[in-house]
C-alpha cells in the first residue's frame, strides 16, 4: 500500500503539471509537489518508522488532491480569456511606469533595524537570568512568554517590510529602469531572518524563504525564455538547499539534538504520517468547525464574555498537541506537527476533504489568475505569500487553527506597506502618464480642427 500510494501521488503530480501547461507556479502542481515531497520523506524513513500506510489515508489524501484540482479547474474555466492573455509574457520594463519610482530603501532598512532590535530586546529580556545565547533562546522557546500587542506589531511590520523589500529587490534585478540600491533591499530580509531566530519560529523563516524563492521564480519566468526552465529549477534547488541548511542551524540554535536527516524527516514528513496513524482510529464525533476554527472560536467566546454571556464554542484540544510514536523496532519520535487535513476530517468527516480543498483550490487559482493578469503588483505578493499555507497543508495547520488572527495581521500589513512604499508612487506616475497622454491627444485634436478650418477657408 505504501508504494501504491507513492505511484498515485506521482501520477496526480505529473497530471497537475501538464494540466497547468507546465507551469511550475500553478497552485495545484505546488500542492501535489508538497504532498509528494512530504510522503517521500515518510518512505525515506520506512525502516526506522516501520511505516504502515492504511487504505483510508490513501483515499482521503487522493480525494483532497483531486478536489483541489477541480476547484482550480473551475476558476481556470471562468478566467480562460484572462489566463490566455496573461500567457503572453511582457518584460518588466514594458509593464512598469516609464519613469523609475522612488523607493525609500535607506529609510526602510533603518526602520527594519529599529523594529527588529526592539522586538529582540523584548524577547531576550524574558531570559535575562539565563547565561549563554543559545540557552536564552531555548528558554524563550520553552517559556512561550507573550511579547505583548505593541511588540508583536513591531515584529509583524519588520517581517512584512522584508516581503515588500524582496519584491522590490526582484524589480531592481530584472528591470533596467529600477536603480534602487540592492544591498539596502537585502538588509530587511536579513533582519527578518534574525528576528525569526530570536522568536524561535522556524515556520516563519520557512514562510519568508519560500516567498523570496517564489517571487524570484515569478519574475524569472516572466522575463526569460522557456528554454531556461532547467536553469530556474537548478537555481530553486540550490536556494532550497541553502534554506534547509539554515533551517537545521536554526534548530541547533535552540539546542535541538537531531541530525539534519532526522530533523527534516520529523518536521516535514511526520505530519503526514501522523495523519495516517490518527485517521485509522478516528471514528468521531464531528465538531462542525470547532477544530478548524479553533482560534476564532476563542475570540467569539471572549466577545460573548464581554457582555456577560458564558458561551462555550471552542474545541477543547490544545493548538499544539504532541504525538509520540514508537515503531516496532523501538525508534521513537515526538512530534507536534499535524496535517491540516486532520482538522477538516475532525469537523466534517470525509466531506471535509471534499469541500474544503475544493474551496482552497478556487481561492488559490483566483489569486494566481490575478497575479498573472496584474503583473508585478500586490497580487504577485499576495499569491506568493499564500503559497506557504498551501504547501504546509501536509505538514501542519496554517490557515485557521494556529494563525487565524496572525495571518490576518500579516496580509493587512503587507498590503498597507506595499501601497505606501510602492503602489502609491506607481499610481501617481500612471495618472501623470494618462494625464499627459490625454493632454497630448487634446492638443493634437485641436491642431487637426484648426487645420481643417483653415483648409475650408482656403
Interval 376-428: pLDDT, tens: 889 999 999 888 888 878 777 666 655 556 677 788 888 888 988 887 766 55
pLDDT of residue 152: 80
Domain range for residue 421? 2-442
Residue 77 predicted with pLDDT over 90: no
pLDDT of residue 432: 47
pLDDT digits (tens, 9 = 90+) for 88-147: 666 776 666 655 567 888 999 999 999 999 888 888 887 777 777 777 777 777 776 777
- In degrees, rounded to 5, the angle at the alpha carbon of residue 383 between the alpha carbons of residues 377 and 387 is 150
pLDDT band at 452 (very low <50, low <70, confident <90, very high): low
pLDDT digits (tens, 9 = 90+) for 184-230: 999 999 999 888 878 767 778 888 899 999 999 988 888 876 556 77
Mean pLDDT of the 340-344 span: 82
**Nearest Cα to 168, choosing from 147, 182, 148?**
182
Torsion angles phi and psi, residue 333, rounded to 5: -145, 150
Spatial distance between the Cα atoms of 413 and 405, rounded to a whole number of angstroms: 13
pTM above 0.85, yes or no: no
pLDDT digits (tens, 9 = 90+) for 243-265: 888 877 777 666 666 666 666 76
pLDDT higher at 123 or 358: 358
**Nearest Cα to 119, choosing from 145, 150, 161?**
150
Residue 449 lies in a domain: no
* Chain Cα centroid distance, residue 299: 24
**Nearest Cα to 208, choosing from 259, 260, 155?**
155
Residue 168 predicted with pLDDT over 70: yes
pLDDT band at 175 (very low <50, low <70, confident <90, very high): confident
Residue 450 lies in a domain: no
pLDDT digits (tens, 9 = 90+) for 260-319: 666 676 667 777 888 888 888 888 777 777 777 766 666 666 666 666 666 555 555 544
**Nearest Cα to 136, choosing from 255, 258, 263, 259?**
255
Give residue for cell 524563504.
209
pLDDT higher at 252 or 358: 358
Residue 407 lies in a domain: yes
How many other CB atoms are there within 10 angstroms of residue 51's CB atom? 17
Residue 448 lies in a domain: no
Quote the cell numbers at residue 351: 466531506
Mean pLDDT of the 79-87 span: 61
**Nearest Cα to 285, choosing from 336, 330, 347, 241?**
347
Using CB atoms within 10 Å of the CB of residue 244, give its burial: 0 to 12 exposed, 13 to 18 middle, 19+ buried.
middle
**Nearest Cα to 37, choosing from 207, 269, 267, 212?**
269
Mean pLDDT of the 338-364 span: 86
DSSP string, 210-273: HHHHHHHHHHHHHHS-GGGHHHHHHHHHHHHHHHHHHHHHHHHHTT----HHHHHHHHHHHHHH
Mean pLDDT of the 145-150 span: 75
pLDDT band at 47 (very low <50, low <70, confident <90, very high): confident
Quote the cell numbers at residue 20: 497547468
Residue 454 lies in a domain: no
Residue 135 lies in a domain: yes
The lowest-confidence range among 17-26, 108-117, 340-349, 427-436 is: 427-436
Q: Report the mean per-residue pLDDT for the chain.
A: 78
pLDDT higher at 259 or 358: 358
Residue 456 lies in a domain: no
Residue 55: is the preceding peptide bond cis (ω within 30°)? Answer: no
How many other CB atoms are there within 10 angstroms of residue 296's CB atom? 16
Quote the cell numbers at residue 70: 477541480
How many structural domains compose the chain? 1
Beta bridge partners of 259: none
**Nearest Cα to 170, choosing from 215, 227, 108, 136?**
215
Spatial distance between the Cα atoms of 79 and 379, rounded to a whole number of angstroms: 16
- In degrees, rounded to 5, the angle at the alpha carbon of residue 242 between the alpha carbons of residues 237 and 244 is 90
Spatial distance between the Cα atoms of 5 and 58, rounded to a whole number of angstroms: 6
pLDDT of residue 2: 84
Spatial distance between the Cα atoms of 237 and 228, rounded to a whole number of angstroms: 14
Residue 451 lies in a domain: no
Quote the cell numbers at residue 76: 481556470
With residue 325 as reference, give the H or E element that holds it: strand 323-326
Amino acid at each position: 500500500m505504501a508504494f501504491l500510494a507513492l505511484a498515485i501521488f506521482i501520477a496526480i503530480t505529473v497530471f497537475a503539471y501538464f494540466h497547468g501547461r507546465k507551469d511550475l507556479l500553478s497552485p495545484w502542481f505546488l500542492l501535489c509537489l508538497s504532498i509528494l515531497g512530504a510522503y517521500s520523506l515518510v518512505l525515506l524513513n520506512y525502516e526506522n518508522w516501520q511505516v504502515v500506510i492504511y487504505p483510508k489515508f490513501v483515499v482521503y489524501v487522493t480525494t483532497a488532491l483531486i478536489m483541489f484540482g477541480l476547484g482550480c479547474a473551475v476558476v481556470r474555466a471562468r478566467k480562460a480569456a484572462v489566463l490566455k492573455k496573461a500567457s503572453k509574457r511582457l518584460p518588466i520594463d514594458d509593464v512598469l511606469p516609464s519613469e523609475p519610482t522612488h523607493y525609500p530603501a535607506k529609510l526602510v532598512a533603518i526602520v527594519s533595524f529599529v523594529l527588529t532590535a526592539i522586538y529582540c530586546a523584548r524577547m531576550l529580556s524574558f531570559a535575562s537570568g539565563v547565561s549563554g545565547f543559545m540557552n536564552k533562546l531555548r528558554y524563550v522557546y520553552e517559556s512561550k512568554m507573550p511579547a505583548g500587542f505593541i511588540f508583536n506589531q513591531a515584529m509583524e511590520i519588520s517581517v512584512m517590510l522584508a516581503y515588500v523589500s524582496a519584491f522590490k529587490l526582484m524589480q531592481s534585478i530584472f528591470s533596467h529602469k529600477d536603480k534602487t540600491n540592492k544591498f539596502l533591499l537585502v538588509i530587511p530580509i536579513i533582519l527578518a531572518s534574525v528576528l525569526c531566530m530570536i522568536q524561535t519560529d522556524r515556520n516563519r523563516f520557512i514562510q519568508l524563504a519560500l516567498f523570496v524563492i517564489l517571487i524570484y521564480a515569478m519574475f524569472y519566468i516572466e522575463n526569460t525564455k522557456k528554454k531556461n526552465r532547467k536553469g530556474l529549477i537548478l537555481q530553486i534547488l540550490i536556494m532550497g538547499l541553502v534554506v534547509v541548511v539554515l533551517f537545521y542551524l536554526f534548530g541547533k540554535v535552540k539546542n535541538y539534538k537531531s541530525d539534519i536527516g532526522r530533523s527534516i524527516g520529523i518536521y516535514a514528513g511526520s505530519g503526514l504520517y501522523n495523519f495516517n496513524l490518527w485517521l485509522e482510529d478516528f471514528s468521531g464525533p464531528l465538531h462542525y468547525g470547532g477544530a478548524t476554527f479553533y482560534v476564532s472560536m476563542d475570540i467569539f467566546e471572549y466577545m460573548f464574555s464581554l457582555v456577560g454571556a458564558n458561551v462555550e464554542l471552542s474545541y477543547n484540544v490544545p493548538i499544539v498537541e504532541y504525538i509520540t510514536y514508537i515503531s516496532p523496532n523501538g525508534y521513537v519520535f515526538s512530534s507536534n506537527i499535524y496535517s491540516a487535513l486532520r482538522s477538516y476530517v475532525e469537523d466534517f468527516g470525509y466531506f471535509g476533504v471534499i469541500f474544503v480543498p475544493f474551496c482552497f483550490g478556487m481561492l488559490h487559482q483566483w489569486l494566481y489568475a490575478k497575479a498573472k493578469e496584474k503583473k508585478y503588483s500586490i497580487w504577485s505578493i499576495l499569491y506568493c505569500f499564500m503559497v506557504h499555507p498551501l504547501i504546509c497543508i501536509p505538514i501542519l495547520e496554517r490557515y485557521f487553527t494556529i494563525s487565524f488572527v496572525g495571518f490576518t495581521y500579516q496580509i493587512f500589513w503587507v498590503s498597507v506597506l506595499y501601497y505606501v512604499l510602492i503602489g502609491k508612487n506607481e499610481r501617481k506616475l500612471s495618472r501623470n502618464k494618462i494625464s499627459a497622454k490625454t493632454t497630448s491627444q487634446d492638443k493634437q485634436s485641436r491642431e487637426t480642427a484648426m487645420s481643417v478650418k483653415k483648409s475650408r477657408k482656403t
